[in-house]
Amino acid sequence: MGTIIEPFKIKMVEPIRFTTREERRRILQEAFFNPFLIKAEDIQIDLLTDSGTSAMSAAQWGAMMVADESYAGGRSFFRFEKVVKELTGKKHVIPTHQGRAAERILFSILGGKGKAIPNNNHFDTTRANIEHVGAEAVDLVIDEGKKPSLNHPFKGNIDIGKLEAFIERVRPENIPVGMITVTNNTGGGQPVSMANIRAASEVLHRHGIPLFLDCCRFAENAWFIKTREEGYADKTPKEIAQKMFSYCDGATMSCKKDGMGNIGGFIAMNDDALAEQARNLLILTEGFPTYGGLAARDLEALAVGLEEVLDENYLAYRHACVEYLAKKIVAEGVAIVQPPGGHAIFIDARAFLPHLPLNRYPGQALVCALYEAGGVRSVEVGSVMFGKPDPATGQETFAEMDLVRLAIPRRVYTQSHVDYLAEVVLDVFQNRDQVKGLRFVYQAPFLRHFTARFEQVEP
Ligand SMILES: *Cc1c(COP(=O)(O)O)cnc(C)c1O
């Protein structure tokens, strides 16, 4: 019996409101062809993000009911701390309300003018928090990681040669910390091998530089190591995750991903002095160190979620779900970033809609077409997100690629939802020559994709 079934039964359901194509056409018009502006109740399958959208288990909801909401020293904190300590092996665990709060605290202490922080690829909030304190965020992913159609088991690896050259050039005293993001979200959710984490830690440590993992998807990364890297097939995901953490000195986490929660994060570290400074900043802006801006019930849910996420049956199902969708659409000729990532599939919109020039935003056009065809919400990761008008000439600059991300929420959708998703993608693919391009009618001066407005352009 080869079918990998959802490793859970459904105890609580949330109805999906169905809409007709007619209605969706009107909704798209009213949202100015920007799905960020569509009400969630008008969406049938929401693949906007895997962040904070996980379905919690009965055990998580149960734990929330017995949470200890004491301001200081609450039982729920110690439960959360114990789980994170066991996972990461770090001495200090500081809860935060989400990943970017952990980043802001860490880089407020370590950043500053003249400092530079390497990573495979910085996630956008990580980069923004580093740049906000005047430091430089540098991406050193391997070259294979930048080639969408190239297949490589660990496209998220950091380039060890580039890392050595970077340290040589910038000097260790200007590099307060080195980071690795697992899995590499910005690079398409691609994993990092254990050998690469070890090699990077050796290089950094030789120069006295600590390594921090941006570990939002540590469990998905552990699964890739188990199934793709020699020597790990017989290890449990937990043992693999613990080994990953054994090479680093600290970690920042958004528990909205592999924490299986709807909110939360943490910083973990061994350095006592750094932890003291972090706690002081936490008190200033987030809350007392035993709740860090969270309700104790969130800490309880995360303590359970951080263990559930390492369940082998869950990870096998999680991975199978993404692979299954990828296989179905690739078989019919849809071009995606290869191999599919841990939490998402990225469709190559330029290949999908070759009749649309770059200034008709093929990624955004495809996002709208998927919504119109089947009520599916995805997100453009391309020129709408990363392009901008040149300040001098007003000429639009375009991103290197126009991708459409289908991010899969954890434990939310079943196989028939995924079958439907594939049908929607293939329906648009078969009628792709009818997809209309878009032009901007409004854009904000920064992060324009969230609020942009468009109109359709007749061919
Ligand atoms: C989501 C994410 C963050 C930021 O976390 P938030 O909880 O959204 O603030 C940082 N790094 C990576 C890799 C992420 O995926």
CATH number of the domain where residue 123 is located? 3.40.640.10
State which of 278, 308, 338 marks the end of a domain: 308
Which strand (E) or helix (H) includes residue 433?
none
Distances (CA, A) of 67 to 74, 142, 303, 323: 9, 44, 11, 37
Which strand (E) or helix (H) includes residue 381?
strand 379-381
The bridge status of strand 403-407 relative to strand 178-181 is: unpaired
List the end-to-end C-alpha distance of the chain, in Å, as a whole number.
50
Ligand 1 centroid, distance to 76 Cα (angstroms): 23
- In tens digits, the chain (459 residues) has pLDDT values of 788 899 999 999 999 999 999 999 999 999 999 999 999 999 999 999 999 999 999 999 999 999 999 999 999 999 999 999 999 999 999 999 999 999 999 999 999 999 999 999 999 899 999 999 999 999 999 999 988 889 999 999 999 999 999 999 999 999 999 999 999 998 889 999 999 999 999 999 999 999 999 999 999 999 999 999 999 999 999 999 999 999 999 999 999 999 999 999 999 999 999 999 999 999 999 999 999 999 999 999 999 999 999 999 999 999 999 999 999 999 999 999 999 999 999 999 999 999 999 999 999 999 999 999 999 999 999 999 888 888 888 889 898 889 999 999 999 999 999 999 999 999 999 999 999 999 999 998 878 899 999 999 987
Residues 6+ apart with CB under 8 A from 164: 203
Q: Tell me whether residue 7 is in a domain.
A: no
Q: Is 214 in the pocket of ligand 1 (CB under 6 A)?
A: yes
Q: Tell me whether residue 302 is in a domain.
A: yes
Distances (CA, A) of 372 to 121, 355, 406: 33, 19, 15
- Does 77 share its domain with 199? yes
Ligand 1 centroid, distance to 155 Cα (angstroms): 19
Greatest pairwise CA separation for the chain in angstroms: 64
- Does 448 share its domain with 364? yes
Q: Tell me whether residue 8 is in a domain.
A: no
Residues 6+ apart with CB under 8 A from 450: 36, 444
Q: Tell me whether residue 11 is in a domain.
A: no
Nearest to 141 by CA among 165, 168, 122, 125: 122
Atom of ligand 1 nearest to the CA of 263: 7
Q: Is 51 in the pocket of ligand 1 (CB under 6 A)?
A: yes
- Does 267 share its domain with 394? no
CATH number at residue 333: 3.90.1150.10
- Does 31 share its domain with 107? no
Q: Which domain holds residue 439?
A: 21-50+311-457
Q: Tell me whether residue 415 is in a domain.
A: yes
Q: Tell me whether residue 13 is in a domain.
A: no
Which strand (E) or helix (H) includes residue 328?
helix 312-330
Q: Tell me whether residue 278 is in a domain.
A: yes
Q: Tell me whether residue 231 is in a domain.
A: yes
Instruction: Report the domain count for the chain.
Output: 2
Give the DSSP letter of residue 388.
E
- Separation between Cα atoms, residue 258 and residue 376, nearest integer Å: 23
- Does 105 share its domain with 42? no
